[in-house]
Structure 1
Amino acid sequence: MSRLIVLLSLFFCHLDVKSVSVMERHSVTLHTDTELQTDDLILWIFCVESPDEIIAELYREVNMTSFINERLKNHVEIEISDWIFIITNITTQHTGLYKAEISRKPSVLIRHFNLTVYARLPVPVISRVSSQCSSSSSSSCCCVLCSVVNVSHDVSVSWYKGKSLLSSISVSDLNIRLSLPLEVEYQDTNTYRCVVNNPITNHTQHLHITQLCHTSEGSGGVDCCGFTEAVIRLVLSAVVGVATVAVLIYDIICK
């Protein structure tokens, strides 16, 4: 009888599923939401490329578990009291479709779970890149870039001004760099923040304009605001110098 159930489990998984999301390295619990009976036989199955991989075969009557899958055996825990299925220290390799088959004469109950494991998010980095400023920007502009690297699927990077969304970019590929530019005035007193997020978590980095925009060190470009200030100082110095020379010449002539 058990072999027949094993063979039946090797058919393609159905599409009626419960979606479950979890962060990498955390634990996730899957349960059948069914009141189990003493003589139930339960199969937990990982639906991958056909044939499916049987993770565990549970005999409730004798409290016995067998057929633990090699790929998952170090991550799987079974709670004997109600046969709850737990995956610990989960990784992105555990993403996929899972199925629980409960053999109960004369029928078989089936529960499906679509498990999505999200990689841990990097903290966004804000840097100054004056070369990114548009040609129409004023001389007092400050151009910054918010970046994250090695991001996975369903990750987005966004700029916010207060609570208002200014711009956003997302990715569906793996292990790439996301960068989003922003132009502000160096005397701007508004609050800006860069947020990287996926469907279940996020990281925020605040932009400190007074610290980042009043220096060109490390930017790799010309400080557009500092350049204007330098020109003004140069002109003032020249005027003062000419005036000083004129006073000296006038003093010599008078003597």
Structure 2
Amino acid sequence: MKKMFLKLLLLCLWRLNGVFGESVMEGDSVSLNSPLTEMKNDDVIQWRFGDENTVIAEINATADRITVYDDVLDGRFRDRLKLDNQTGSLTITDTTTEHEGDYELRINSEIKRFSIAVYNEVKSVSVKEGDSVTLNSDLTEMKDGDVIQWRFGDENTVIAVINKPNDRITVHDDVLDGRFRDRLKLDNQTGSLTITNTTTEHDGDYKLLMFPGRLSSKVFRVSVYDSVHCCGPTEAVIRLVLSALVGVATVIIVVYEIRSRRAEQDQAHIHTSGSIEI
């Protein structure tokens, strides 16, 4: 019940021009929730996809019929659609990038729109505790109609939003027990996010959702390390190589010193042996 409430809350927070955005890792499942808690006997629900508004699933409560159209759109949804016969919500399993795009839910005469982004790459970023880290959107400049949203953690908690149409920047300092309070900075031109004075509480996955048009998504996996522990495999390798080089250099210096001393002793011995007593 708590997870369902959080999910619905997130959907409300992300409502942009009547469109609800969702992002999902390729291969995972994503659910598009209808606003119904329970269907009535005369309800008709229909799910459509893409620019052509192709019907992919429907529930007709009057006829007591649930239909999933597996064969449409070259079968991209085959064995991947699940309908909740109580609420009409739609779940897409084993997602691929072919499932990116716009979805439309029609409940009788009402319409609700969704947009899904499927990502298949997670960018790893490491930062020393106390330092700042910037998660780049890779945009050079946001357009007037753009909306950018940053989410954090398994619950996809919204932590920052830039809404260009309303000329508004919002940072949600109070979420997650205030762990991001006074630590988030948004670049109004690019939408990039900077986290200052990092702690291990800021470890985790950050999702960047960009709208409108086709919803796009980027994911950053941030690792915060302290001064004692190494931040990750790359730095570990670098430190290991540097340690090895220092060790080799030390051995070379010691060997050189030993050989130099022996050479000096040999020279002194030769000089003494070659002298003539009177």
TM-score after normalising by structure 2: 0.51
CA drift of 1:226 comes to 6.2
Match status 1:247 vs 2:268: yes
Q: 2:48 aligns with which of 40, 45, 49?
A: 45
How many residue pairs match? The answer is 172
Which is greater in Rg?
Answer: 1
How far is the alpha carbon of 1:166 from its aligned partner? 6.2
Aligned with residue 95 of structure 1, among 100, 103, 111: 100
In structure 2, how many angstroms separate the alpha carbons of the residues matched to 1:210 and 1:157?
19
Residue identity opposite 1:77 in structure 2: K
The structural deviation recorded for 1:87 is 0.9
User: Which residue in 2 is equivalent to 1:81?
Assistant: 86
Match of 1:202 in 2: 221
**Does structure 1 residue 213 correspond to structure 2 residue 216?**
no
- 1:27–1:90 Cα contact (<8 Å) kept: yes
Question: In 2, Cα distance between the equivalents of 1:24 and 1:57?
Answer: 25
Which runs of 5 or more residues in structure 2 are unaligned? 1-15, 140-202, 208-218, 224-231
- Partners of 1:236 and 1:117 lie apart in 2 by 63
2:126–2:222 CA contact under 8 A, matched in 1:
no
Alignment RMSD = 3.4
Unaligned 5+ residue runs, structure 1? Answer: 1-13, 122-155, 173-194, 216-222
Q: Distance in 2 between matches of 1:211 and 1:87?
A: 46
Q: Is the 8 A contact 2:96 2:118 kept in 1?
A: yes
Tell me which moved more, 160-169 or 35-44. 160-169
Which amino acid letter does the alignment assign opposite residue 119 of structure 1? N
Is contact 2:125–2:221 with CA below 8 Å preserved after alignment?
Answer: no
Matches of 2:257 and 2:62, distance apart in 1: 94
- Letter of the structure 2 residue corresponding to residue 243 of structure 1: E
Question: For 2:41, what is the secondary structure of its paired residue?
Answer: coil
How many angstroms does 1:201 deviate by?
6.3
TM-score, normalised to structure 1's length?
Answer: 0.55
Match of 1:162 in 2: 129
Q: 1:165 to 1:229 in 2, by over 3 A?
A: farther
Which has more strand, going by share of residues? 1
Cα distance in 1 between the residues matched to 2:134 and 2:260 = 45
- The whole-number CA distance in structure 1 between the counterparts of 2:254 and 2:273 is 29
Aligned 1:32-181 pairs, distance under 5 A: 32-35=34-37, 36-46=39-49, 48-49=50-51, 51-66=52-67, 68-70=69-71, 71-103=76-108, 108-119=109-120, 121=122, 156-165=123-132
1:109–1:159: structure 2 CA closer, same or farther, 3 Å change rule? same
Identity %: 20
